[in-house]
Amino acid sequence: MTVIPGTPLVTHAPTPRRPQDPAALAAAAAQFATGAALMSMKVPANSPEARALNAGLAMLDPSAAAVAVPDDQPTQDTDTDPAPAEYDEHGLSKLLAGTVALNLSTNRIVVRSATGMTEARIRSTPAMDPSSSPQIQKLVIISPQFPWRVTIESSPDAVIRIEDVWSKLHAESQRPLGESEWNILSQSTRELVLRTCAQRGGGTLLRADYLGEKCVLAGLRRDDEEMRRFTNCSEVPEGVAIFVATFMSEAEALRR
């Protein structure tokens, strides 16, 4: 799991016995004050500073709850009574509509709003409302930012899950950029592709390099005008859903 910097996390330190003498209480207060001063910083939840903060608080008041501290480090994934999966008016999971963002280059979640869901549960969530009729068995993703159409299909007795969408998008983004594709790029786009490739260490030019730093899938949306422009069709066949992908940089996704 990837955690957004500044996400409130709760650390739980063992509760020591409350000191009885004034000197020990003063030491605990100082320990707590030192940790509290770090609250405005990104303090890892399992760091000595965070443990000092919570230990100091526990010494002053053993009944007090552990203090939440900012954390920019991965932590243990929890799934505490998560809310049921939600879908928008088009039957698309709200997780794909923007609640969760995925870095296509690394296949790593970079934004996970307060879903209360583990990464495993997010990935296993149906991409489309399973109660809809007819069931969606083909999901097509298009984008003016990524000119390759991506199609995800399921068997008649299965549903398309978020993992299927992300895996296919990641795989397509990692495909080498063909010579014919390179030849039609503008000079500025070629420079972007070369620069992005160099920044990741060089090697084969990939379709993901076309996105530059905007390699984070920030959400899918329904856009009939874009659909007609990309697919040359005015009607979507039964059992098919077409959505437009929005890509942004990781920094932009984190600021949303």
Strands 138-142 and 240-248: what pairing? Answer: parallel
Contacts 24+ apart (CB under 8 A), 113-118: 115/82, 115/83, 116/79, 116/80, 116/81, 116/82, 116/83, 117/79, 117/82, 118/1, 118/77, 118/78, 118/79
Closest to 173 in 3D by CA, of 190, 193, 153, 201: 193
H helix runs in the chain, sequence order: 22-37, 48-60, 119-124, 162-173, 179-183, 187-199, 224-231, 250-255
Query: Can you tell me the distance from the alpha carbon of 44 to that of 7, in angstroms, rounded to the nearest whole number?
Result: 11
DSSP 96: I
* Predicted pLDDT of residue 71: 40
pLDDT digits (tens, 9 = 90+) for 205-242: 999 999 999 999 999 999 988 888 877 776 788 889 99
Q: Is the pLDDT of residue 43 over 80?
A: no
* Predicted pLDDT of residue 177: 96
Q: Is the pLDDT of residue 39 over 50?
A: no
Query: Can you tell me the distance from the alpha carbon of 255 to that of 163, in angstroms, rounded to the nearest whole number?
Result: 24
Per the rule left: phi > 0, alpha: psi between -120 and 50, beta: everything else, 47 is beta
Residue 160 is which amino acid? I
Of 4-18, 133-147, 171-185, the poorest mean pLDDT is in: 4-18
Measured at the alpha carbon of residue 163, what is the angle toward residues 161 and 169, in degrees to the nearest 5? 110
Quote the strand ranges of 71-215, DSSP E.
100-103, 108-112, 138-142, 150-153
Task: Name the strand (E) or helix (H) holding 218.
Answer: strand 216-221
pLDDT digits (tens, 9 = 90+) for 157-176: 899 999 999 999 999 999 99
Query: Can you tell me the distance from the alpha carbon of 172 to that of 206, in angstroms, rounded to the nearest whole number?
Result: 9
Q: What rounded mean pLDDT belongs to the chain? A: 77
